[in-house]
Chains A and B, each alone.
Chain A
Amino acid sequence: MTDDSTAPAVQLKGCTRRFDTPSGGEYVAVRDVDLTIAPGRFVSIVGPTGCGKSTLLNMAAGLLEPSSGEVFGFGEPLRGLNRRASYMFQQDALLPWKTVRDNVALGLKMRGVASAEANERALHWLRRVGLEGFANRYPYQLSGGMRKRTTVAQTWIVDPDVLLMDEPFSALDIQTRQLMENELLQLWQGSNKAVLFVTHDLDEAIALSDEVVLLGVGPGSRVVGRYEVDLDRPRDLMDIRSRPEFVRIYEEIWSQLKEEVMKTYAKDSPALAK
């Protein structure tokens, strides 16, 4: 694949997406969104529930076409699926009828890697995410955290240049979540992979990212703020949240996010916002 090293890994230019509503009308989920993720950068999208974060991710993945605007991957306009991206879905997406090992090896096998080698590499990845000994389990036999680890191995094993992650840890308890965030950063550090990470948790976004993109309330959500997070790397997530720089950035973004959240409330129940 030709690689324009200066081109962004993912770029959305003026992307708008409309959906047909059951009543026959149209709902504009996101409007005129510009988004640029350079190779090796970790960018988070934060916004209230229902503002169109998953919609943006789906467009970057090529699963959803923008109604207007265009998506680029490494400088090339996207046609069909984004072949250089892996996608970690918000919902459970492991195949329930495959063992943990077969789930992880699937991407390689579908790319034509010989079965024995794919299995070998899957076991290697299971060791990396701390799941050795669970290779022959079925997903229903795992805890929520272990399923997420399996998904991490499943999406990383194909060595994508871009990782799209949709609130991957939001369903986990707080300790598991912090552990997983730490491990994600360790995997990503020095990998030169671009990450587009969606979350509704500002704390998580700042702790992980180089850049936080704030999305406004819908309908027709736009980007309402972009913030550089210039905390040192590698980061230790266990104590980063108490550092003064973290607190300063957090408060800066939160003051604006708060406004957006209040607007959501105002829309849903006008009495509350007063």
Chain B
Amino acid sequence: METSPAPAAGRPADTSGTVVEPGDGLPGTRRRRRGRRGAVIRVLQVVLAVAVLGGWELLTSLRVIDPFFFPRPSDIAVRIWEWISTGYILDDLAVTLEEALLAFVIGSVLGLVVGFLLARVSLLAGVLDPYLKMFNALPRVVLAPIFLLWFGLGIWSKVAFGVTLVFFIVFFNTFQGVRDVDRVLVDNVRMLGASEYHLVRHVLLPSALTWIFSSLHISAGFAITGAVVGEYLGAAKGVGYVIAQSEGVFDTTGVFAGMIILMLVVLVIDLLVNRLEALLLRWQDPAKTA
């Protein structure tokens, strides 16, 4: 996020014209102190990681912990490196990501459209409300087997499963965001000549976007969860399938390696979502949202 816009050109606007410079909130000394604190925290975080992984490594070498159930971190690291350097895992990772992406896109679009419709057409909301609540109350995992039967072992059973997870998050947030929109903003653009389409495009959608973004991290994670759980229950490809295979031959190192790869992938996705969020919500006052 860019922090300091160009200094104001031209004449000062008015006597109360104190312009808020974003990112300029902290006086120098406080910022420096916060910077030092940050460094201390970083160091402590590394110390913690070294202690836990080192202790784990040591205790498994000494056979205090059974490496059959808790494989040595160094073995896991070697396995991850093997899988990546030989390209063994890449095909499966691509499949998992493809499923997750499809589930995410389809679930989000459906959630957006249905959320908008229900927020704008109160009759529809009234009629559908109990059914949506019932469906949302269903523990979603039980759908995986039936989707396997309906859509087969390929990617679509996993996509369908992911969609049921993503849809509700996006739907509820869109619904809330559209319902929650500031009345004055709506009146203002209507007085400026807005049609229903203008209203959606200039007010309702951007207003809902802030809500949708607050759920994006969760729904992206759910899309991956949907894909992996689906693969785990029945597939011929994917990281979930690899984990299930490793489990089948009591290869705990493989199970852990799969877990860690997934974890890293989700972290990267989270980072990308952060970037996107900072770009699309750059109009928000950082002081208010921090």
Contact = CB atoms under 8 A, between A and B. Distances in A.
B26 interface: no
Given A93-B184, A106-B202, A179 B189 contact: no
A91 B14 contact: no
Contacts of B188: 87, 89, 93, 95
A173 B16 contact: yes
A184 B55 CA distance: 73
Interface string A217-233: 00000000000000000
Interface stretch (B44-52, B82-90, B95-103, B193-201): B193-201
Given A86-B192, A95-B202, A110-B195, A143 B283 contact: no
B91 interface: no
B5 interface: yes
Interface string A86-100: 110101110111110
B184 A89 contact: yes
Nearest to A87: B191
B190 A81 contact: yes
A179 B15 contact: yes
A261 interface: no
Interface in B57-72: none
A137 B282 CA distance: 11
A143 B190 CA distance: 25
A106 B192 CA distance: 8
Contacts of A175: 15-16
B180 to A, nearest CB: 14
A132 B14 contact: no
A107 B13 contact: no
B290 interface: no
A146 B14 contact: yes
B184 A91 contact: yes
Given A97-B283, A110-B198, A145 B13 contact: yes
Chain B binding site: helix, strand, loop or mixed by DSSP? loop
Interface residues of A, number: 46
Interface in A69-95: 81, 83, 85-87, 89, 91-93, 95
A154 B202 CA distance: 15
B14 A145 contact: yes
B285 interface: yes
Given A111-B193, A145-B17, A179-B15, A93 B185 contact: yes
A141 B19 contact: yes
Contact of B193 (A89, A92, A98, A110): A110
Nearest to A131: B13
Contacts of B5: 136-137, 141
Contacts of B27: none
Interface string B249-290: 000000000000000000000000000000000111100100
B9 interface: yes
Contacts of A92: 184
Contacts of A133: 8-10
B15 A176 contact: yes
A247 B287 CA distance: 46
A238 interface: no
B14 A179 contact: yes
B35 interface: no
Nearest to B203: A95
B189 A106 contact: yes
A130 interface: yes
B283 A98 contact: yes
Interface of B: 5, 8-11, 13-22, 184-185, 187-195, 198, 202-203, 206, 209, 282-285, 288
5 closest A-B pairs by beta carbon, nearest first, are A133-B9, A93-B188, A140-B285, A107-B192, A133-B10
6 contacts: A63-B191, A95-B206, A96-B283, A98-B283, A110-B202, A143-B18
Given A61-B191, A172-B16, 6 more contacts: A87-B188, A132-B9, A134-B13, A136-B5, A143-B20, A145-B13
Interface of A: 61, 63, 81, 83, 85-87, 89, 91-93, 95-99, 106-107, 110-111, 130-134, 136-146, 149, 154-155, 158, 172-173, 175-176, 179-180
